[in-house]
Structure 1
Amino acid sequence: MSIYNLDRLFHPSSVAVIGASDQPGRIGMALMKNLIEGGYKGNLFPVNPKYQQIMGRAVIPAIDNLREPVDLALIAVPIEQVPLIIAQCSAAMVKTVIVISAGGKETGESGASLEKKIAAAASSARIRVIGPNCLGVMVPHCDLNASFAAGMPLKGNLAFVSQSGAVCTAILDFSFKEGIGFSHFVSIGSMVDVDFGDMIDFLGREPSVKSILLYVEQLTNIRKFMSAARAISRVKPIFVLKAGSSKAGALAAASHTGALAGEDAIYDAAFKRAGVVRVRTIEELFDCAELMAKYPKPSGPGMAIVTNGGGPGVMAVDAIAKYGLEPSELSSTTIEACSQILSCHWSKRNPVDLLGDASAETYGRIVDILLRDRNVHGLMVILAPQAITKPLAVANQLIASIKGGSLPVFAVWMGGRDVESAVQVLNDAGVATYSTPERAVNAFSYMVQHSRNVQMLREIPSRFEQPFECHLQEVRKIVQTTDLSTEGFLEEAKARDILEAYNIPFNTIISADSAESAVTAAQKIGWPVVLKILSPDIPHKTDVKGVQLNIHDEEQARSAYHAMLTSAGKYAPHARLEGVSVQRYIENPDLELLIGAKRDEAFGPVVVFGTGGIFTEVICDRALALPPLNRRLIKRLIEETKVARLLRGYRNLMPVDMEALEIIIQSIAQLVVDIPEVAELDINPVIVKDGKLLALDARIRLQPSLKPAPMHLVISPYPAQYELWTTTRSGLHLLIRPIRPEDADLFQILFQTLSPTSVYFRFFSSIKELSPEMLATLTQIDYDRHIALVAIDTSASPEKMLGVARIIADPDISNAEFSVIVGDPWQGQGIGAQLLLNLIDIARQYGIQTIWGTVLRENRQMLNLGKRCNFQIKNNLEEGTCELSINLSKALPISEMGEYAENSVFR
């Protein structure tokens, strides 16, 4: 249900405490005490049949005795009673509940069964649930402390959501010491209903929230999480601490790909794809909490350092290099200004060493200068206790110097008792403090990572020169005729057929089931050759001495054939031996790569790329990505590996044909998007020779998929099923299809055809050009909640985008806002109507109930289009606008919409 009724949970006008108590040590008493002492101003109803009065308030014996609606009920009774209590809440018209009670799935099967009953009861009553087994919820801005925590957080703009109540209490205690304030503080518990995806969707739309912190032990409904995180991380930073070790599945090491794509590495890939920054420790989460609560994100990776000791300055520079950042290169203006203050012997570069006798005034003057340098994106101020330097005086000077500044500033007061009072003053003033330079740099690196994530989310991918083509039906035929109940890999010939259907370039291979046929195959291919054992039960051929290289003649071929079969029979006596494969021997390849995919139980298919060969697990140079992939994401995947440097050319190595490599990776990604039965795929090695790529060996394991395509993916792929050809009433023959990220250039050209009036009608403001950020937002969409259809004139050279219509659904997928834009040269030809009618049809398939949009009253063309498409029109005289809306349950199907639906043919 996503954010349905969550506003009532976090901004309730009335709260009931079921299991309220006045006995010290009881959770029911702590809940009542926190609500009252926290200053909650709404109606408060204690519920317990054992009391008549609690804390001066009349007690209700049961929640269904209450004769007025309740927004939020806190449940603190034994968990066995919770399903019945929720049924009573339904009768009392309760909208949301927080189940504090423990004893769910963490206790075993019986507890898991109870949680299923709680979820079923809540779902049937459309009651939103947080918990069970949670601390509760705190919203300082609303004076709501609906928890049994020891105190209310300070007011701030940071939202924190945790699966662990213990982590909640630790963060809360830390926040008091460091002066960190929160907008929302949520212990989410076992997540029988409200999960991390729901919370991100809700918090992302709360004006009081500037940043989101998550403590995650396990994700549920990962597709929803990815959709929410990808939408919100563009506008608000999300930091996550993912805890919990992973256990490898029984088949994880069946191939190199399986061994490399462990669960934790997949979480890393998922968080990167969603624009989420992952931290590794509680300490780092604390540091991020402090930073994001106190500073805006940096505009770049450059950090400047001011120190009164050379050693700490060197430590800071070493840490900067360790985390892949860079010390700011000071401008000549900055160096000259610092030289007017410092000794003539100062280094005239970053870090700026003030020496041990630095005064508070010197610190202040140098900080003022550095804050004006455009190359400085973050500033670290280090103080080591000295006989002359006064820690408290320098702290007060720093506070004055940075007041009103926009850069993140890191105060590193090193020491213990001598700096304790100064550190407290800095914290009270909202300055981020750290005990060591390394911690400060680490925290800054996470801020930079977030900035880079947002930048990458907004990058516009380029197009491939050649359109992607594959023989999908051939592959589906292979899958349909394969027994998927076995756990083994496909025969090598079938695996090769599948990959060649997706245009993977393979070395010439011929199968041979005897020594003589191996000789014949070698003669056909040409000497020298390679012989490899053929067996669906032996994925790692070198383990059984099943590979013989550089075979030059018939005698060697016969000998190698018999030796390999003997060796395989010895090392794998139960394996099915089908002979050998014979292929051309390529001597001394420049590089060996691995390209593969693995289907993860939670995340679906994952693409793997890295260094290949028989030692690939030892080298462990690999990167992972979640399909679907575009060219930008593929480039990023490659760049995350160490072998990427060699691919660009190194010493005597020629540069690799990067577009050919990107196409291979795209083909693998598309294969696992199209065929959910691919459980494991391993092309190792893909060799590089003189810049060219060639696959030498491949393995594929197929298994039944619990979900059909495309629901087996956690990121919605391009919905090709909505492509259609249509002819407008004016005779334009157009391709109408969903927008792609690569359409940014076409969209920009379309925008240039718009008159100032058309721009104003669409955007409600005067925009002269679309920024890269706007283009990315308009073209890189989440197809689970946002559909944009474009009208393409393919007869033009190059092809032209004539119009765009889009619907953006709310997270509940119940209502959606629409918009339509058509280039001025093509207005009045039925393009907008055709786009809008097809959007209505798609919205109906999504389950959207209502489509609405706001139109300026002067936009007569759009209002007329709304009338023709049966929208209701309501005037807003005060705003000078009209709201158009249509109830899809009452709207006609597209096939009955008349002239605009004629001649539409889906591809």
Structure 2
Amino acid sequence: MSIHNLDKIFRPEAVAVVGATPRVAAVGYAVLHNLLKGEFEGKIYPVNPHHKEIEGLEVYPSLGSIGKPVDLAVITTPIRTVPGILQECAAAGIGGAIVVSAGGKEAGTEGLALEAKIKEAADRAGIRIVGPNCLGVVNTDLKLNATFASHMPLPGKLAFISQSGAICTAILDLSLKEQNGFSYFVSIGSMLDVDFGDLINYLGDDPGVSSIVLYIENLSHFRKFMSAARAVSRIKPIVVLKSGRSEAGIRAAASHTGALAGSDAVYDAAFKRAGIVRVNTIEELFDCAELMAKQPRPQGPGTVIITNAGGPGVMAADALAAYGMEPVALSPETMSKLDAILPPYWSRNNPIDILGDASPERYRKVVEVCISAPEIKTMIIIMTPQSMSDPTTTALSLCTLLKGKRLSIYTVWMGGGDVEQGQEIFNAAGIPTYETPERAIRAFHYMYSYARNMEMLQQIPPALPEELRYDQPGAKTLIAEALNQGHHLLTEPESKALLAAYGIPVNQTEVAVSEDDAVDAAHRVGYPVVMKIHSRDITHKSDAKGVQLNLKHDEDVREAFRSIMAEAAAYNPQANILGVTVQPMLERQDYELILGSKKDADFGPVILFGMGGILTEVLKDQSIALPPLNRLLALRLMESTRVYQLLQGYRNRPAANLELLDEILIRLSQLVVDFPEITELDINPLLMVDGGACAVDARVCLAPSEVASPMHLVISPYPSQYEAVVEIQTGVKILARPIKPEDAPLLIELHNSLSPTSIYFRFFRPVKSLPSEMLARFTQIDYDRDVAFVGLLQDEEGQKILGVARLMADPDVTRAEFAVVIRDDWQGKGVGALLLEKCICVARERGMQLIWGHVLPENINMLALGRKLGFSVKRVPESSNYELRIDLTRA
């Protein structure tokens, strides 16, 4: 369903309260009372067959009896009545419903059955539902308070969404104290229909929303959530508190990766990939909510601490250090200005201790100096009540000075009654205030991390030296044969064969079923050798004493074979022993790493990287990320571990080949992208030695998949199926393919080649260069949401983009705006038609309904192309421009 139907819930012109009652203690009364008290600007219709009038309003016996248009029904009656009420909604043309009623799935089997009936009735009628079991919805812009909460939030630009009604009321109560305003306040309840993905999409499009705060207990429709969050977080901060960090589902893991990649770690990785800031406690959620409501995004790490007491200044500096940050070094110019206004015995350092007798005037002068200092981006202003200080007057003085400044400013008025009035002054002025330096620094760090994460997400990934090749048919055959034979764990040789099919380097591995076989294999491999147990039933070979190292002679091999077989039989008498494997002994390795993948029940496959070897699960130095990966994402994954510092070279150890490691991670990512049958995969260890890499042990777990690739992923991968070499009108063959993040340098070159006229036709304004934010938006697209094709030509000067056609879809992917730009010397040669046709074909395949775009009247080539491809061409009302539209629902 379209998210635009959510307007019926969040921007209704008329609301019916089903179950409205004059009984003050009832939910139906509270909802009606809040609508009236909030001075909702639309119509309000109480519905209850047992009353004629409530609060001065006429009461209707049923929805059908209202006889006037209604957008939203707020249902407060018992949940068993809801399916029938939704049928009334359908008959009355009501498009949205808030089901406050509890007793759904939280009540057990009977509640689940009721929810199924509610969902069926809503889907049949096209009604959007918030709830059941929710507090309701607030839109302060419309003065709509369709909740049974005790208060109306203050107006603002922060949107808050929570699965917990109790968290909603707690946040609301605190927001009134801290003077934080909200644009939307949403209790989402059981998410039978409207979920977090829907709301992020909807609120992301609302100019009245500057940032979004979420309290999440569980998610649904994970791919939609990731798509929405990745799109919206680029333009609006999203902060989330996700409850439920316990690890319960990893005890039966068959691999190191399965044991290490716990569910909460996967949520962390998903939120990070989506650009979401995750907080850990209710207190932190409060602090971030306040910060986003009142402060601009931090512009950098240049933090100054101003204090009238040394101890709190040290506490603030220590808190910064805990996050790997330091107070900014003050420039000589700043020091000189401070010397001129401070007593000679001030700290002469940052933190700036302006001493216990600091007057409001001294605070003001110091802050003025810091505001003008170019090295300072963030200011922490601390006051402790002392006999010579005046917290209230100081707060008043600073508020007038700080109003409208673009710096990130945090105040810490420490104490009790003496500082309360100062705190209230800051809250009323929209300046964040905290009770301790640690809380202020922590809140700052979250928002600074968000800003840094946005920078990283918008960086351009470097291209690989050459296109990677994979033996996908060979890998497919190997997996299919194993599953057909009922094998859900590949043997080590089979696992290595699968890795090798995707270009991941493995060592030579020979299978032997007897002592003589083992000796022959050792001769083929070359001494010294390693021998390992070969069995599907023994996954951790070292635990079964199934690994023998550095075997140098035939007799060593024979003795090792006998020992391994005996130990394996004792370790697991029921195990099916297939023999042993014989492999070359790498006598020296620079680094031992673990690479792996686990198929998470919610987010699909995740990639793991970290310190490898037998102590992997003890050291727990690893990080995880969601596929697909590119070189930049692979680097970020490695940078999140301690072993990455070693890989750059340490003492007498040479640096590892990080470019090769990038490539191996990308190849591993592609393997799990292509095969949803892979449930767990371990490469442990991957040895890095002499500038190379070698997987010396591997384990792969399989299971049949009900979902084909790539729908098992929560992030849509590059759609290589749309690549094609095509001959255009001039007889030249070009490669037409979807755009890639790595195309950014080629896109810059294309833009630089365009004439001012071509640029104006594309952007409707002069654009001298493509800023990094725009470049990232154009190249790092969500392949589920947007469509963009480039035409590439390889000539003697290298590869270049001849043109780009793109469709920018609305959040529900039913409508899309098109744009086309072609290199000047290639216009009129069929490149634009080819690329736009490909976009239209993909749009039809995805079920889009409409493509549209505005074209300047001077752009006669684009108008002609539109007519050729079947677009209708009409003047835009009250404009000289034309709108081109094509209805894809028609044959």
Q: Does 1:214 align with 2:214?
A: yes
Which residue is equivalent to 2:191? 191
5 Å-filtered alignment, 1:480-879, equals 480-483=480-483, 486=486, 488-876=488-876, 878-879=878-879
Cα shift at 1:722: 1.2
1:424-454 Cα offsets, whole Å, 9 max, x none, are 2222222211111111110000110110121
104-113 or 291-300: bigger deviation: 104-113
| Contact 1:495–1:699 (CA under 8 A) maintained in structure 2 | yes
| Contact 1:485–1:703 (CA under 8 A) maintained in structure 2 | no
Q: For 1:450 and 1:480, locate their aligned partners in 2 and report how far apart those are by CA, in whole Å.
A: 43
5 Å-filtered alignment, 1:884-903, equals 884-890=884-890
| Contact 1:484–1:704 (CA under 8 A) maintained in structure 2 | no
Q: Does 1:74 align with 2:77?
A: no
Which residue is equivalent to 1:124? 124
Alignment length, in residue pairs? 891
| Contact 1:2–1:198 (CA under 8 A) maintained in structure 2 | no
Q: TM-score, normalised by structure 1?
A: 0.97
Cα shift at 1:726: 1.5
| Contact 2:482–2:488 (CA under 8 A) maintained in structure 1 | no
Q: For 2:314 and 2:486, locate their aligned partners in 1 and report how far apart those are by CA, in whole Å.
A: 59
Which residue identity does 1:113 align to in structure 2? A
Runs of 5+ in structure 1 lacking a partner?
892-907
1:269-306 Cα offsets, whole Å, 9 max, x none, are 00011011101011001000111101110111221101
5 Å-filtered alignment, 1:219-238, equals 219-238=219-238
Q: For 2:844 and 2:685, locate their aligned partners in 1 and report how far apart those are by CA, in whole Å.
A: 47
Q: For 1:774 and 1:868, locate their aligned partners in 2 and report how far apart those are by CA, in whole Å.
A: 30
Cα shift at 1:877: 5.7
| Contact 1:382–1:411 (CA under 8 A) maintained in structure 2 | yes
5 Å-filtered alignment, 1:327-342, equals 327-342=327-342
Cα shift at 1:505: 0.9
Cα shift at 1:246: 4.1
Which residue identity does 1:526 align to in structure 2? G
Q: For 1:586 and 1:153, locate their aligned partners in 2 and report how far apart those are by CA, in whole Å.
A: 66
5 Å-filtered alignment, 1:446-465, equals 446-465=446-465
| Contact 2:223–2:714 (CA under 8 A) maintained in structure 1 | yes
| Contact 1:519–1:554 (CA under 8 A) maintained in structure 2 | yes
Which residue identity does 1:254 align to in structure 2? A
Q: Does 1:111 align with 2:114?
A: no
Which residue is equivalent to 1:444? 444
1:136-190 Cα offsets, whole Å, 9 max, x none, are 0011111000000011000001000000000000000000000000000000001
Q: For 1:484 and 1:475, locate their aligned partners in 2 and report how far apart those are by CA, in whole Å.
A: 14
| Contact 1:529–1:550 (CA under 8 A) maintained in structure 2 | yes
Cα shift at 1:320: 0.3
Cα shift at 1:588: 4.3
Change (3 A) 1:452 1:750: same
Q: For 2:692 and 2:742, locate their aligned partners in 1 and report how far apart those are by CA, in whole Å.
A: 26
Q: For 1:181 and 1:693, locate their aligned partners in 2 and report how far apart those are by CA, in whole Å.
A: 55
Q: For 1:19 and 1:324, locate their aligned partners in 2 and report how far apart those are by CA, in whole Å.
A: 56
| Contact 1:379–1:409 (CA under 8 A) maintained in structure 2 | yes
Which residue is equivalent to 2:95? 95
5 Å-filtered alignment, 1:96-175, equals 96-175=96-175
SS in 2 for 1:193: coil
Which residue is equivalent to 1:50? 50
Runs of 5+ in structure 2 lacking a partner?
none
Cα shift at 1:7: 1.6
Q: For 2:297 and 2:390, locate their aligned partners in 1 and report how far apart those are by CA, in whole Å.
A: 31
Which residue identity does 1:665 align to in structure 2? L
Which residue identity does 1:92 align to in structure 2? A
1:466-501 Cα offsets, whole Å, 9 max, x none, are 211110000111122122685741111111111000
| Contact 2:4–2:202 (CA under 8 A) maintained in structure 1 | no
1:566-601 Cα offsets, whole Å, 9 max, x none, are 112112222211111111112342221000001111
Q: For 1:865 and 1:809, locate their aligned partners in 2 and report how far apart those are by CA, in whole Å.
A: 21
Which residue is equivalent to 2:287? 287
SS in 2 for 1:405: coil
| Contact 2:802–2:826 (CA under 8 A) maintained in structure 1 | yes
Q: For 1:486 and 1:358, locate their aligned partners in 2 and report how far apart those are by CA, in whole Å.
A: 78
Q: For 1:128 and 1:519, locate their aligned partners in 2 and report how far apart those are by CA, in whole Å.
A: 71
Change (3 A) 1:797 1:573: farther
Cα shift at 1:400: 2.5
| Contact 1:75–1:101 (CA under 8 A) maintained in structure 2 | yes
| Contact 1:488–1:537 (CA under 8 A) maintained in structure 2 | no
Q: For 1:180 and 1:251, locate their aligned partners in 2 and report how far apart those are by CA, in whole Å.
A: 44
1:302-357 Cα offsets, whole Å, 9 max, x none, are 21101111111111111101112331121211111111122333332211111222
| Contact 2:250–2:258 (CA under 8 A) maintained in structure 1 | no
Q: Percent identity of the aligned residues?
A: 52
| Contact 1:230–1:273 (CA under 8 A) maintained in structure 2 | yes
Q: For 2:890 and 2:425, locate their aligned partners in 1 and report how far apart those are by CA, in whole Å.
A: 64
Q: For 2:250 and 2:203, locate their aligned partners in 1 and report how far apart those are by CA, in whole Å.
A: 39
Which residue identity does 2:424 align to in structure 1? Q
Which residue identity does 2:569 align to in structure 1? G
SS in 1 for 2:688: strand
SS in 2 for 1:209: coil
| Contact 2:347–2:354 (CA under 8 A) maintained in structure 1 | no
1:699-758 Cα offsets, whole Å, 9 max, x none, are 000101121111111011111111122211222211111000001111111112211011
Q: For 2:804 and 2:151, locate their aligned partners in 1 and report how far apart those are by CA, in whole Å.
A: 52
| Contact 1:312–1:382 (CA under 8 A) maintained in structure 2 | yes
Which residue identity does 1:468 align to in structure 2? L
Change (3 A) 1:252 1:856: farther
Q: For 1:796 and 1:13, locate their aligned partners in 2 and report how far apart those are by CA, in whole Å.
A: 63
SS in 1 for 2:311: helix
| Contact 1:484–1:703 (CA under 8 A) maintained in structure 2 | no
SS in 2 for 1:534: strand
Which residue identity does 1:13 align to in structure 2? E
SS in 2 for 1:789: strand
SS in 1 for 2:659: helix
| Contact 1:308–1:354 (CA under 8 A) maintained in structure 2 | yes
Q: For 1:375 and 1:617, locate their aligned partners in 2 and report how far apart those are by CA, in whole Å.
A: 43
| Contact 1:325–1:445 (CA under 8 A) maintained in structure 2 | no
Q: For 1:796 and 1:194, locate their aligned partners in 2 and report how far apart those are by CA, in whole Å.
A: 54
| Contact 1:296–1:408 (CA under 8 A) maintained in structure 2 | yes
Q: For 1:391 and 1:725, locate their aligned partners in 2 and report how far apart those are by CA, in whole Å.
A: 72
| Contact 1:718–1:740 (CA under 8 A) maintained in structure 2 | yes
5 Å-filtered alignment, 1:343-362, equals 343-362=343-362
Q: For 2:315 and 2:2, locate their aligned partners in 1 and report how far apart those are by CA, in whole Å.
A: 47
SS in 2 for 1:142: coil
Q: For 2:388 and 2:79, locate their aligned partners in 1 and report how far apart those are by CA, in whole Å.
A: 63
Which residue identity does 2:134 align to in structure 1? C
SS in 1 for 2:152: coil
| Contact 1:653–1:690 (CA under 8 A) maintained in structure 2 | no
Cα shift at 1:250: 5.9
